[in-house]
Amino acid sequence: MEPASASGHAPVQPPISVATRRRAWRRLKDRLATRCMAIGGISVIVAIVLIFFYLLYVVLPLFRPARVEAIGQYALPGPAGGTLYLALDEYGEIGLRVTATGEALFFRTADGTRLDTRALPEVGAAVTAFGAGDPSRAMLALGLADGRALVFRHRYSNSFPNDRRVTTPSFAFPLGDTPVVIDPAGRALRAIDVQGTDERVTVVAIAQDGRVLVSDLVLTRSLLDDSVTIERRDGAIDSGAVQPARIALSVDQRSLYVLDDQGRISLYDLTDPASPSPIDTTRIVQDGATITALDFVAGGISLLAGDSRGRTAQWFPVRDAGNDYKLTFVRAFHEQHAPIVALAPEHHRKGFLAAAADGTVGVYHTTAHRTLKIEKLDAGTVTALAISPRADVAVVLDDNDRLHHWVLHNEHPEVSWRALWGKVWYESRQQPEYIWQSSAATSDFEPKLSLTPLAFGTLKAALYAMLFAIPLAIGGAVYAGYFMSPRMRGYVKPTIEVMAAIPTVILGFLAGLWLAPFVEHRLAGVFLLIVVLPLAVVAAAYIWSRLPAAVRYRIPNGWEGALLVPVVCLAVVAALGLGDTLESGLFSGDLAAWMTHRLGVDYDQRNSLVVGIAMGFAVIPTIFSISEDAVFGVPRHLTVGSLALGATPWQTMVRVVLLTASPGIFSGVMIGLGRAVGETMIVLMATGNTPIIDMNLFQGFRALSANIAVEMPESEVGSSHYRILFLAALVLFLVTFLFNTAAEIIRQRLRTRYSGL
């Protein structure tokens, strides 16, 4: 206990010194700095993790399995009996049923309530055949017993009274509401098919005598009134002893497929309907099987053939070596094991439904070669089915005359591992290929969403950029950090580091508008630079070593590199001049054209060589700065000790400096590689952005990052295209993460191995 003072008051505390207050203030600032650094580091990690999970959140719906939700079932609307056809409107709310007696009626898919709408006209003869054209055009045909055909369309108009959508179904008759004569002899039509537009309708039918009759009707509408003039051309195909069983007319009305009773299908060209010409005949079923269902995939290029063994095969014409079309088997689906009784292609995608006799309904996608779902009815077998234009509602009719109302959850059927990374045989292509082509002008376009050419382009760009950048950057870093004088280093290092601040859009602009034409017109000179520059430097070094010592000692130690600047400039001028002379004398003044015509090496102005040079300049400052710091940071006593033991400067640099600095040099290379992999603007502006797989130095490419930049603004939010672009971003994220992780592991091992030097 402190003694009291003589006056009885507590003792006075000594004043806090200035030094004590400063130490307390420094401790506070240290703690604040530590906390801020910790918060900053954790924030970076959290941001990266959040980016990863957000990308994953957008991408995961691509891989959700398809689901079929049974909404309900009810008795078939209208009279009992055969059903020739079922269809749905765009929203899946109104259905169409065409009966075997020629009656067509609309109903609500929710409960089967029949709608009071205009009926088809009386045709005056029994219905003997029915044909449905492309579902997106909604054109149908009834073949009659007297050789005539009634062609009609079902359509749906939407109105919005009181802000509520009301859909009104109706029929339209492009050829008039009177049946047209197909067989002048008046015999019954055994089968019929139809395709048409507002300007042209083609009807194809199998007559009773086995002939295939073709009627092409061109519609001309009057400008003064609503009258329509029909110009007609008729033709016939005589199959001889072979009896045709089914027919299928392509959407463009130019190709006709005729299936005979022996399982062979013949392809005819209807460019001249009056004289159909045969193209190819192919057997499309296995021995012992029969074709039980035939229809087109959306777009009318691919033909689907379901057989009695439950197999559904896709075929389409492919040009052979003689430039002739051959109907070619592409792929098959084997998941159902009973005869296929009905096919329902999607209206705007390459998917379809297939119903089998055992009551199973399969949901498939051709391009992705995916079986998305197999659903089985509770009881009975399927006799007819239909899918809505949006492919989200389906109705299935069983043999007990009950309709099953389903909702399909199948947003991204075109996505599969094969479609993203494997070779896919696309329609109208000669063979399976890697192709990226995400959109086209038509709604029935087959998306080609292979990421392989984009990943290849990314790695190709990074490879050529690193081949250009690594030797220059590391060589410059070693010279600047070990041989160069401190004063000269003080000028060179900041100058190169300032290059890293140049926006890559400027480099891409210069590469696309100046460098690419320059390289094309001076290609021989650019190639000569690879040889002339090293020879000029070696020759200059040799000459310098032979000069008198009095001359050489005039240059301060570490400034010798400055003497190479004029040498390099003269070598560049000489190489370009000599290249022009060689190009004029040996290659007819155009080396690029000579390579294309004489060597078969295609040359694009914006190619990998241009991108490699431009991206190399973007990457060099990063690699140089980190590598130079690593070389300059090698302890001085190591180099001095090596020189003292008799090693030459070159030996010291190779065996001591490079080994000690190798962790830092490796880090610089990997960081530069990461930047090259993710570079966008240079690749976007300096290449043709063609997604091809070709290691040709003179061909362009498309990188993942450039593809995202080009197509993301045009993609529909939530679509497969949109999510696949996010998948491309996720792939870039993972690649750079793996590169950086591997680089850190190797760097630590190098540091551990050479830390004892």
Digit-coded pLDDT (tens) for 533-568: 999 999 998 898 888 888 888 888 878 888 888 999
Closest CA to 285 of 344, 345, 329, 243: 329
Cα separation, 147 vs 180, in Å, equals: 9
Of 192 and 639, more confident: 192
Q: Which residue, chain included where needed, has tokens 């099987």?
A: 289
Q: CA dist 633 to 59, 110, 651, Å?
A: 45, 78, 18
pLDDT interval class at 95 (50, 70, 90): very high
Closest CA to 731 of 700, 707, 711, 699: 707
pLDDT of amino acid 447: 87
Cα separation, 350 vs 488, in Å, equals: 66
The DSSP bridge partners found for residue 283 are 264
Task: Name, in order, each residue with C-beta under 8 angstroms of 580's C-beta and a sequence gap of 6 or more.
Answer: 522, 524, 525
Q: Spelled out in words, what is the top-level CATH class assigned to the domain 67-81+292-433?
A: mainly beta
Distance of alpha carbon 285 from the chain centroid: 33
Mean pLDDT of all residues in 275-298: 88
Mean pLDDT of all residues in 368-392: 91
- The 10 Å CB-count burial string (b at 16+, else e) for 388-406 is bbbbbbbbbbbeebbbbbb
User: 718-742 pLDDT, tens per residue?
Assistant: 899 999 999 999 999 998 888 888 8
Give the pairing type, strands 264-269 and 255-260. Answer: antiparallel
User: 620-660 pLDDT, tens per residue?
Assistant: 999 999 999 889 888 888 888 888 888 888 888 888 888 88
CA atoms within 13 A on the CB side of 552: 10
* Residue 322 contacts residue 308 (beta carbons within 8 Å): no
Task: Name, in order, each residue with C-beta under 8 angstroms of 311's C-beta and a sequence gap of 6 or more.
Answer: 286, 289, 332, 333, 334, 336, 340
DSSP 8-state class, residue 106: E
pLDDT of amino acid 47: 92
pLDDT of amino acid 189: 93
Q: Which residue, chain included where needed, has tokens 């926006």?
A: 503
The DSSP bridge partners found for residue 104 are 98
Please indicate whether the domains covering 67-81+292-433 and 452-517+605-754 agree at the CATH topology level: no
Cα separation, 213 vs 149, in Å, equals: 12
- Does an H or E element contain 67, and which? strand 67-75
- Backbone angle region of 263, left / alpha / beta, with phi > 0 → left and psi within -120 to 50 → alpha: left
pLDDT interval class at 65 (50, 70, 90): very high
**Which strands form 228-237's sheet, in the order they lie side by side?**
189-196, 200-207, 212-221, 228-237
Q: Which residue, chain included where needed, has tokens 């520059």?
A: 533
Mean pLDDT of all residues in 268-293: 87
pLDDT interval class at 1 (50, 70, 90): very low
Distance of alpha carbon 400 from the chain centroid: 45
- The 10 Å CB-count burial string (b at 16+, else e) for 310-333 is bbbbbbbbbeeeeeeeebbebbeb
Q: What's this model's pTM, rounded to 2 decimal places? A: 0.87
Closest CA to 130 of 186, 197, 194: 194
Q: Which residue, chain included where needed, has tokens 């075997």?
A: 100
User: 405-460 pLDDT, tens per residue?
Assistant: 999 999 999 999 989 999 999 998 899 999 998 887 666 678 899 999 999 999 99
| Dihedrals phi, psi of 387, to nearest 5 degrees | -130, 145
Three-class DSSP labels, 111-147: CCCECCCCCCCCCCCCEEEEEECCCCCCEEEEEECCC
Task: Name, in order, each residue with C-beta under 8 angstroms of 456's C-beta and a sequence gap of 6 or more.
Answer: 434, 693, 701
pLDDT interval class at 662 (50, 70, 90): confident
Closest CA to 305 of 329, 338, 281: 329
Closest CA to 437 of 698, 680, 702, 61: 702
Task: Provide DSSP, 323-357.
Answer: S-EEEEEEEEE----S-EEEEEE-SSSSEEEEEET
* Residue 294 contacts residue 259 (beta carbons within 8 Å): yes
* Residue 492 contacts residue 480 (beta carbons within 8 Å): yes
- For residue 721 the two structure tokens come to 């295209």
Q: Which residue, chain included where needed, has tokens 């995916």?
A: 370
* Residue 74 contacts residue 397 (beta carbons within 8 Å): no
Judge whether residue 239 has pLDDT over 80: no
State the burial class of residue 290 (Cβ atoms within 10 Å of its Cβ: 0-12, 13-18, 19+): middle
Mean pLDDT of the chain: 88
- Backbone angle region of 458, left / alpha / beta, with phi > 0 → left and psi within -120 to 50 → alpha: alpha
User: 465-517 pLDDT, tens per residue?
Assistant: 999 999 999 999 999 888 888 888 888 888 898 888 888 899 999 998 999 99
- Does an H or E element contain 29, and which? helix 18-59
- The 10 Å CB-count burial string (b at 16+, else e) for 220-249 is eeeeeeeeeeeeeeebebeeeeeebbbbbb
Cα separation, 345 vs 350, in Å, equals: 8
Q: CA dist 390 to 294, 345, 361, 397, Å?
A: 22, 12, 18, 20
User: 343-374 pLDDT, tens per residue?
Assistant: 999 998 999 999 999 999 999 999 999 999 99
Helices (H) and strands (E) in the chain, counts: 17, 30
DSSP 8-state class, residue 102: S
Cα separation, 579 vs 533, in Å, equals: 13
pLDDT interval class at 755 (50, 70, 90): low
Q: Where do the domains of the chain lie?
A: 67-81+292-433, 120-283, 452-517+605-754
Query: The domain 452-517+605-754 belongs to what CATH superfamily?
Result: MetI-like (1.10.3720.10)
- The 10 Å CB-count burial string (b at 16+, else e) for 82-121 is ebbbbbbbebbebbbbbbeebebbbbbbeebeeeebeebe
Task: Name, in order, each residue with C-beta under 8 angstroms of 622's C-beta and a sequence gap of 6 or more.
Answer: 500, 668, 671, 672, 675
- For residue 19 the two structure tokens come to 């030094």
- For residue 247 the two structure tokens come to 């027919």
Cα separation, 250 vs 257, in Å, equals: 8
Q: CA dist 50 to 36, 43, 54, 165, 242, Å?
A: 20, 10, 6, 41, 67
